[in-house]
Amino acid sequence: MPPVTGYLCRYCRQHSEPGEAAVGCPLCGAPFDVRPAVSESGWMRQPMIPSTTRLSCGTIRCQINGRYVPVAEFELAAGDWIYFSPHVLLWTDPAATLAVPRSSRGRSSGLIEAHGPGHIGVAENRAGEVIALPLRRGQLVCVRPGRFLCATGTVRYRWESSVVCYSTMMAEREYPMGGYLLNVRVAGRQGLVLLHASGDAYIRDLADDQNVLVSPSSLLYWEDTVSLSLHLEFAYVPGRHVRRAIWRSSRIWLRVCGPGRVAIDSAREQHDGARTPDYESFASWQRWDAPSTTTTRAE
């Protein structure tokens, strides 16, 4: 039997052939010498990409520099290109060509393309970590728009309306996940997507019909096999004017149901109690009527 060659990364779940001088996965940057940290509930810590770690995606080379506000520096060959939001552009070589793509209707996509040959650096303007998400051909992943940093040109993206939003007395339809979600898929052999996590990142592989409640603002990305819905809990509030107090004490959750992988980070936005949704906007809700009894509803 021939010997098994290559390396299977437990974080990106892809095979690669690291060089002799490599200290981590060449696709996602996870160090080799990091012992996996998995909690009893099943969440696995995504290790931080060490500074000066080099990633590869075809002929594109990327180096992650820095610790508190990491910078992704790309070396683009002729014919290679990446795209990103305008506010993350940090520096660029004069040789690199920047372009604003247009749709078939002549509208701007809101993103900038950088074509090689040349070097370019992108970074978010806040502390956190860079999460490398290498994708295989045909693999579909959903990303929160606020966490997207950049992607290689082989990754195709599409905006879709969010199914996890609700209406309030102010007719708001974009809280807590935003009005649109970003779907990315690789058109070529492989692709690379970089995300920005504001805190520590955690990943979890959910089994079929297994679900977990997470804070909506903590979501990073999830596979297309994962389904999302909203869940609302009302706290028990004794005394007069109970109904009014219940609306002010609601807690909004995101129900994530498997099978598939989901990733979150530990830094999240605080829920604004003034945004009080109605019952009909949620897939499920739970009211804590008393310390020993609960009422649950699921559509």
Q: Where are the domains of the chain?
A: 24-298
Three-state SS string across 182-202, please?
EEEEECCCEEEEEEEECCCEE
Q: What is the pLDDT of residue 194?
A: 97
Higher-pLDDT residue of 189, 241 = 189
Higher-pLDDT residue of 180, 13 = 13
> Does residue 83 carry a pLDDT above 70?
yes
> Does residue 274 carry a pLDDT above 50?
no
Quote the tokens at residue 76.
């683009």
> Does residue 150 carry a pLDDT above 60?
yes
Higher-pLDDT residue of 294, 114 = 114
> Does residue 170 carry a pLDDT above 80?
no
Q: Among 102-106, 165-169, 243-247, name the one with the lowest average pLDDT.
A: 243-247
Q: What is the pLDDT of residue 166?
A: 67
pLDDT bin (cut points 50, 70, 90) of residue 8 is: confident
Q: How many CB atoms lie within 10 A of CB 175?
A: 20
pLDDT bin (cut points 50, 70, 90) of residue 104 is: low
Please choose, from the candidates 131, 148, 154, 159, the residue with its C-alpha nearest in 3D space to the C-alpha of residue 30.
Answer: 131
Q: pTM for this structure?
A: 0.84
Cβ-Cβ contacts under 8 Å for 248 (sequence gap 6 or more)? 273, 276
pLDDT bin (cut points 50, 70, 90) of residue 173 is: low
In this structure, are residues 255 and 177 in contact, taking their beta carbons and an 8 Å threshold?
no
In this structure, are residues 7 and 18 in contact, taking their beta carbons and an 8 Å threshold?
yes
pLDDT bin (cut points 50, 70, 90) of residue 122 is: very high
Task: Let me know the angle formed at the C-alpha of 153 by 136 and 259, rounded to the nearest 5 degrees.
Answer: 30
Task: Give the helix ranges, DSSP H, for the chain.
Answer: 242-248
Higher-pLDDT residue of 36, 168 = 36
**What is the architecture of the domain spanning 24-298?**
4-Layer Sandwich (3.60)
Identify any residues that bridge with 210 across adjacent strands, giving them in sequence order.
none
Q: What is the pLDDT of residue 3?
A: 42
Q: What is the Cα 55 distance to its own chain's centre? A: 19
* φ, ψ for residue 159, nearest 5 deg: -85, 135
> Does residue 2 carry a pLDDT above 50?
no
In this structure, are residues 138 and 185 in contact, taking their beta carbons and an 8 Å threshold?
yes
Alpha carbon of 248 to those of 22, 263, 276: distances in Å? 53, 29, 7
Q: What is the pLDDT of residue 281?
A: 55
Task: Give the helix ranges, DSSP H, for 187-287.
Answer: 242-248
Tell me how far apart the alpha carbons of residues 15 and 118 are, in angstroms, rounded to a whole number: 28
Strands 180-186 and 155-161, bridge-based pairing: antiparallel
Q: What is the pLDDT of residue 20?
A: 62
Task: Give the helix ranges, DSSP H, for 149-271.
Answer: 242-248
Please choose, from the candidates 67, 53, 64, the residue with its C-alpha nearest in 3D space to the C-alpha of residue 18.
Answer: 53
Tell me how far apart the alpha carbons of residues 253 and 58 are, in angstroms, rounded to a whole number: 39
Q: What is the pLDDT of residue 4?
A: 43
Q: How many CB atoms lie within 10 A of CB 105?
A: 5
Alpha-carbon torsion 86, 88, 93, 95, what sign? negative
Instruction: Tell me the range of 15-29, 55-69, 235-249, 283-297 where mean pLDDT is highest.
Output: 55-69
